[in-house]
Chains A and B, each alone.
Chain A
């Protein structure tokens, strides 16, 4: 695995398998599933995005020893194949303020946009932008739409949106430039929600590598 230092106490490691999206996803799921407690002690923080993971160490002194240790550790993680990924169905009211514009742009009917968006099976390629916000791979190429030139000041939580080649779900009310085509009442991020054992990780619905489908509400 290739790695690049990122300041005195972090490294960016490329775990992706070139030209093999399925193998890359399986590795991403494995790293996402490995809890913080399983990582070497020197590790303070792991952040995954697409085919890379950022590893932050607790201090700079740990750096020299920790890099080989973390590379070894990543090598021991068994890839998690797609059929073991957690699956989610998100009900959607296709009532977004940009739905008609997206349809016009691509020469499609509104019905076509909905059908194509809901037909795809998506994968959480990365969480970021705001807590629990998923960047979803798998968007039908005929729906790829550049971000809006002027971002909206407020997009509400639960907005179903398209940004470039990605689909996404706004996790909190925030400014944003993605094209909003619908809304869901499912809370992608809920600060009041806990796992049954009380773990705060229950606030977050999705994990890197999870599979998502959108189900139109009639």
Chain B
């Protein structure tokens, strides 16, 4: 059933799901929703399984026309839509759903009960235009949704529990694991790394986030390329760290000082340029929490 028409794709809209597993050995990155916390909640609020395809919107400007009665959830970055973030609600044919003005965060998720119907390649509906897999949405595109799950309650909608809604303007400490080259970095560089206040550069996307805040001296000497995990913080020769994101290359030749913990990554991906945050090593952060409590 056709359910949404794209009136405007705004700054960017694409179909995503949790991503693909098992193809990195052939050079295909995992892809998938940047903020797995928010995308998980979007599907949950309309009774979908967590791997149902949904829409990921960047910042603002997207506008949809609803073509048939459907239940829609909006989570993640608040872009001033007709329904509040972290809620689902029923829509009637002819209604508009607009995301005019970003207020917090970067990525907004839109799920529809029944899930969006999307082609799956290599086990996932996530589009990865840089890799020749699918394309982002364009004005005029029509999206269909599957049948609504029976277990949707006969209420007008649902909302996420308060503790699960996130204020992306105030991120917690971002937790890190030591990276494979952690030991190769000078002790002073590691200290500077944790003392600095960081922000995300505007030259950031689904491939990687550049960080600004301090310049780190990478270890001397070139290294041979090696496999890279999503969330790795690489330090190129110019000293400006880059966090590998979900569409980032599967291999790389820069030393990796640290790896962002997978529970912290959804916070980091929602940091807008200008917003400040700090890092903490996993063990140290746990100790600090005990100390404060």
Partner of A46, one of B25, B130, B231, B259: B25
Listed stretches A67-75, A107-115, A131-139; interface member: A131-139
* B84 interface residue per 8 A CB criterion: no
Task: Give Cα A201–Cα B28 distance, bound, in whole angstroms.
Answer: 11
Q: How many residues of A contact B (CB 8 A)?
A: 42
B-contacting residues, A19-65, CB 8 Å: 32, 36, 44-54, 56
Task: Please state if B249 and A129 are interface contacts (CB–CB under 8 Å).
Answer: yes
Bound together, the chains give a CA A7 to CA B256 distance in angstroms of 11
Within the complex, the shortest CB–CB distance from B248 to chain A, in Å, comes to 10
B177 contacts chain A at the CB level, 8 A cutoff: yes
- Looking at A7, A51, A133, A191, which has the most chain B CB atoms within 10 Å of its CB? A7
Q: How far is the CA of A164 from the CA of B252 in the complex (A)?
A: 14
Closest CB of chain A to B252's CB: distance in Å?
A: 8
The distance from the CB of B110 to the nearest CB of chain A, in whole angstroms, is 25
Residues in A whose Cβ lies below 8 Å from that of B251: 47, 49, 126, 128-129
| B26→A201 contact, CB < 8 A | yes
Complex CA distance for A54 and B249, rounded to whole angstroms: 14
If over half of A's interface residues share one DSSP class (helix, strand or loop), that class is named, otherwise mixed; here it is: mixed
Tell me if A127 is interfacial: C-beta within 8 Å of chain B.
yes
Q: Are B28 and A208 in contact, CB atoms less than 8 angstroms apart?
A: no
Whether A174 and B21, one on each chain, are in contact in the complex, defined by CB atoms closer than 8 angstroms, is: no
In the docked arrangement, what's the CA distance between A69 and B179, Å? 23
A144 within 8 A of B: no
Collect the chain A residues with CB atoms within 8 Å of residue B21's CB: 44-45
Pairwise interchain contact B24-A47, C-beta atoms closer than 8 A: yes
Q: Known contacts being A6-B180, A47-B251, is A128 close to B27, with CB within 8 Å?
A: yes
A45 to B227, CA, bound (A): 11
Q: Report if A47-B227 is in contact (Cβ < 8 Å); known contacts: A4-B180, A129-B249, A131-B27.
A: yes
Asked whether, in the complex, the Cβ of A130 is within 8 Å of the Cβ of B130, the reply is: yes
Q: Is A94 an interface residue (CB 8 A)?
A: no
Chain A's closest residue to B24 (CB) is A47
Tell whether, in the assembled complex, residue A12 and residue B226 are in contact, meaning their CB atoms are under 8 Å apart.
yes
Q: Given the known A-B contacts A7-B259, A172-B130, are A127 and B229 also in contact in the complex, defined by CB atoms under 8 Å? A: no
Question: Is B225 at the interface (CB under 8 A from chain A)?
Answer: yes
B22 within 8 A of partner (CB): yes
* Contact present for B229 and A10 (CB under 8 Å): yes
B121 within 8 A of A: yes
B-side interface mostly: loop
Interface residues on B, range: 20 to 34
Query: A133–B224 Cα gap in the complex (Å)?
Result: 17
The smallest beta-carbon distance between A108 and chain B, in angstroms, is: 25
CB distance from B242 to the nearest CB of A (A): 15
Interface presence of A97 (CB below 8 A): no
Residues of B within 8 A of A174 (CB): 130
Q: Check A189 for interface membership: any CB of B closer than 8 A.
A: yes
Is there contact, CB below 8 Å, between A8 and B177?
yes
Is B131 interfacial (CB 8 A cutoff)? yes
Interface contact A126-B225, CB-CB below 8 Å: yes
Which residues in B have their C-beta under 8 angstroms from that of A179?
none
In the complex, A53→B28 CA distance in Å?
15
Does B153 reach chain A (CB closer than 8 Å)? no
A208 in contact with B130 (CB, 8 Å): no
Contact status B22-A45, CB under 8 Å: yes
Interface 0/1 of A161-184, CB less than 8 Å to B: 000000000011110000000000
Q: Mark B1-36, 1 if CB is under 8 A from A, else 0.
A: 000000000000000000001111111100000000
Q: Which 4 A-B pairs have the closest CB atoms?
A: A54-B227, A128-B251, A47-B227, A172-B132
Would you mind naming 24 contact pairs between A and B with Cβ atoms under 8 Å apart?
A: A6-B259, A7-B261, A8-B177, A8-B261, A12-B180, A46-B25, A47-B250, A49-B226, A53-B227, A54-B24, A54-B226, A54-B227, A126-B225, A127-B26, A130-B27, A130-B131, A130-B249, A131-B26, A131-B28, A191-B132, A201-B26, A203-B122, A204-B27, A208-B25
Beyond A32-B25, A47-B251, A131-B23, 6 extra complex contacts between A and B, CB < 8 Å: A7-B177, A48-B25, A49-B226, A54-B24, A56-B229, A131-B131
